[in-house]
Structure 1
Amino acid sequence: MQHQPNIVIVGGGAGGMEIATKLGHKVGRKGKARVTLVDCADSHVWKPLLHEVATGALDVGIDALDYRSHAAAHGYHFQQGAMTDIDRQARQIVLAPLFNDKGMELLPARRIDFDYLVIAIGSIANDFHIPGVREHCEFLDSTAEALAIRKRLLNKFMRYARQEKLDERIKIAVVGAGATGVEMSAEMHHAVAQLQGFGYQITPEMLEVTLIEADSRILPKVEKPQISESVTRELLALGINVMTDTRITKVDTKGLTTSDGTEIPADMVIWSTGIKAPDFLQQIGGLETNRINQIVVQQNMQTTLDPHIFAIGDCAACPQPDGSFVPPRGQSARQMALMTADNIILMLKGQAPKHEYLYKDLGSLVNLSRFHTVGNLMSFIGGGVLVEGKIARFVYTSLYRRHLIELHGVVKGTLLMLAKGIGRIIHPHMKLH
């Protein structure tokens, strides 16, 4: 009997889901290969929406995509667990034991064979080794962390449920004014407005949000300064404190300390500045990594030391012809995923992986909850086109719709969008538990 190649994808984010779905359709269903997706969680939530999970604006029970059911419908398999090692000689990955919330072992440590391995585990916030960050800050790198933030926020607001008043405002600091930090800051003000409808005696004035950025302007990675200026005006109009040129040197239980010694009091600190790949990538498989733990790959996404191992998305350092590296963007992860699937299909046929990834900036969009949406489209063509308001909001929501269609197909994806839209009308606008 002929050996059926094993394709293993580690990481069920947008990139991992795209490649698992495409390979499931192209080779899994046809019995040309066994495709397996591995992830720590049991369901997928689109990462750009995690700030909505954190404030309760998005209900994970409705919007999360179950890996097992999706795998069964799309020609691939799913294994839940955390990868702890890569045995390149045996062509296996090692998964840690899986425990429930009471510490009971559900699954033992396992090994999964692979002929082709795709690492798509994304990135986490970079603490830059600043004292106190890991101990005292909240992060927004996963659904579990977003849910933890929501619980802490609601616990703080709960003191108003019995019509009590606090002597001081609730102080929340968001460090890092990239898209995540900016959108999170605005979403918290929207959450306050929604909570008023649930019997909470709370007004936006009771919430003090401070957005802190080390660069000279917010959204420093967005090329057009007009976007940064527009977003800054909207944030200030909401009453959000915007601090630029501010570097944090310490975090403790009282708040933050800046490089000039200024203390910023905070009841909660949300850390969303910088990215790095998870630290364990430097210790597994003997693969080449850079200073922020990204796996170094060639332009066809093969790792430099093993042609049967690929890395895509934020955890990959992919060089470009001009000497730069592909930026950590959702659009690049998706494009890498689809191209890598094509390269693996070529290798299954005994051909060389000829496709090479060339990054084209399709633009950036920033959505400030219900307040404002602004962005730049088709940046690679003459600097792009500036859009804001309803047009920008339509394009922003279209990105998620496209993600659903690519994972489910046109018919089911469209039906899911309609169902989610109806659900948001029927169900409460906030998830409180």
Structure 2
Amino acid sequence: METIAIVGGGAGGLELATRLGDRLGKNGRARIVLVDRYPTHFWKPLLHTVAAGKLDPQVHQVEYAAQAADHGFQFICGEVLCVDRGARTLEIGSWRTDDGAELLPPRTLQYDKLVLACGAVTNFFNIPGAAEHSLTLDSVQDAELFRRRFLGACLQASSQRNGAPDGAAVNIVIVGGGATGIELAGELCHTVRSLAQYNVHSLDPARDVRIRIIERGDRLLPQLNPRLSARAARTLGRLGIEVCTGTTVARVEADAVHDSAGVRHPSDITVWAAGVEAPAICTTLGLPLNRIRQIVVTPELRTENDPAVFALGDCASYVCPVDGAAVPPRAQVAHQQAVYLADALVRAVGNRAAGFRYRDYGSVVSLGPFAAMGVLIGGANKREMLVGGMAARVLYRLMYQKHVMALHGFVRMAAQSVAHWIRGKVTPPVKLH
């Protein structure tokens, strides 16, 4: 039986494993194996809501083992340490508990076809001090660390507030004005107001908590429509968030971010959301890479010099042969590539002339409960239409529901949506501890 190994259980990897398991694994046509270093899956575009305390990740996560049992594939928990393309084997590290105890020993997995869907990690661009003094949002663990640090900073500032001079008691600096950065800023505004409402701290949300976004480009959301960028900047300004565009970070310290103009931006917590790159494992494979370590793939999503290895999602570099542009690292790209590759592997038509074609439907960003906005792209001429208000809020929620439906089907997605709605009505809007 042919073994198809999938490394990485992100938006693309888990959906691919689910589709292949349903179509090949259940009827014994192939052995589908998903490998991931964590036992659970969480949709990465929502990590900023975990960081702000809006979502409980344990409620929204997917257990890989349960998904595997329901959809006919096998799950192996552990980090891939080495790929031997000659022997077609994966070396998988041991799985340990948080205190270091070994639960599973190192293992070796033989494969016939390998799909790399290991996502992306934060790119610090070799800025001095950035990796040492910044937090990231690469995983649920990173988001939870930020949430605890932010809550602790608010509580400490509140306890020391008596007799202190006027000014910001808590300084948050977010490096990067993309979707992750501005969505986190918007959610934090909501969080600090909710914590004050429940008397968790005694800070004035407008005066005592200062949130600053530093963006190297001349506008926020540089990859999207300029009108959308302007609208986002106005909304953030009304929330009291300071936006510094055209500002390059020179170095990061434990308590400040310094830009290239010599300005010091005080920071109790620095979040780095300025860019991504493929994980280090991609550099050990001997495959062609681009400048941010992404694996270069053909229109069939195969690697250029190994027909048994495929790549998709944020770790893959696919350049559209029509317009010559590389597809962006977005969840909708991973979804479309997972659908294409599942069909290609099932039908064994990986060498067909018609390769993968990405269709951009647009993007929607949410600034917490305050605003949502986006741009939709449709038609043969790719006409852009800006949306806002309730329509944008609904579209933003539907993006996640579409992901859940791809994994569990419509009935279970609808049931989960109702359960989450009820939970939201009977619990505080943010985690209070």
Deviations 1:40-80 (A, max 9, x none): 11111111100000011000121111111111111111111
Query: Partner amino acid for 1:262?
Result: V
- Residue 407 of structure 2: aligned partner: 407
Spell out, residue by residue over 1:224-275, the C-alpha distance to the aligned partner (whole angstroms, 9 max, x if none). 2110111100000000000000000100112111111111111110000111
Aligned partners of 2:212 and 2:242 also within 8 Å: yes
State the shift of 1:320 in Å: 1.3
Secondary structure of residue in 2 paired with 1:393: helix
Q: In angstroms, what is the RMSD of aligned CA positions? A: 1.6
Single out whichever of 417-426 and 294-303 deviates more from structure 2. 417-426
1:123 is aligned with what amino acid?
A
Matches for 1:84-103 after TM superposition, within 5 Å: 84-103=81-100
Residue 151 of structure 2 corresponds to residue 150 of structure 1: no
- 1:64-83 correspondence runs (5 A): 64-83=61-80
Identity of aligned residues (%): 39
Q: Distance in 2 between matches of 1:24 and 1:412?
A: 18
Aligned residue among 188, 209, 212 for 1:210: 212
Residues 25-424 of structure 1 aligned to structure 2 (within 5 Å): 25-159=22-156, 164-165=161-162, 167=165, 168-199=168-199, 200-204=201-205, 205-222=207-224, 224-283=225-284, 285-321=285-321, 322-347=323-348, 352-378=351-377, 381-424=381-424
| 8 Å CA contact 2:157, 2:169 repeated in 1 | no
Q: Could you say if the C-alpha distance between residues 192 and 341 of structure 1 is closer, same or farther in structure 2, counting changes exceeding 3 Å?
A: same
Q: What TM-score, normalized by structure 1, do the two folds share?
A: 0.95
1:9 match: 6
Give SS of 2:49's match: helix
* Residues 162 and 324 (structure 1), Cα distance of their counterparts in 2 relative to 1, 3 Å cut: closer
The 8 Å contact of residues 36 and 77 in structure 1, kept in 2 or not, is answered as yes
Q: How many Å apart are 1:162 and its aligned residue?
A: 5.6
How many angstroms apart in 2 are the aligned matches of 1:351 and 1:153?
48
Give the deviation of 1:318 after TM superposition.
0.8
In the TM superposition, what is the alpha-carbon distance from 1:159 to its structure 2 partner? 2.5
For residues 310 and 136 of structure 2, the distance between their equivalents in structure 1, rounded to whole angstroms, comes to 27
> Structure 2: which 5+ residue stretches go unaligned?
none
Q: CA deviation at 1:296?
A: 0.8
Q: Does the CA-based 8 Å contact 1:87-1:93 persist in structure 2?
A: yes
Tell me the SS of whatever aligns to 1:138. Answer: coil
Letter in 2 for 1:227: L
The runs of 5 or more residues in structure 1 that have no matched partner are none
Question: For residues 5-60 of structure 1, what are the alpha-carbon distances to aligned partners after superposition, in whole Å with 9 as ceiling and x for unaligned?
Answer: 11111111111111011111111111111111111111111111000000110001
Name the aligned partner's letter for residue 155 of structure 2.
M
Which consecutive segments of 4 or more residues in structure 1 shift more than 3 A?
160-168, 350-355, 379-382
**Shift, 1:351, TM fit:** 7.0
Identify if the C-alpha distance between structure 1 residues 383 and 307 changes in structure 2 by more than 3 Å, giving closer, same or farther: same
**Paired letter, 1:101:** D
Between Structure 1 and Structure 2, how many residues are aligned? 426
CA contact (8 A) 1:344 1:353 kept: no
Give the superposition deviation at 1:160: 5.8
Q: Which moved more, 1:158-167 or 1:187-196?
A: 158-167
Measured in 1, the distance between the counterparts of 2:278 and 2:408 equals: 28
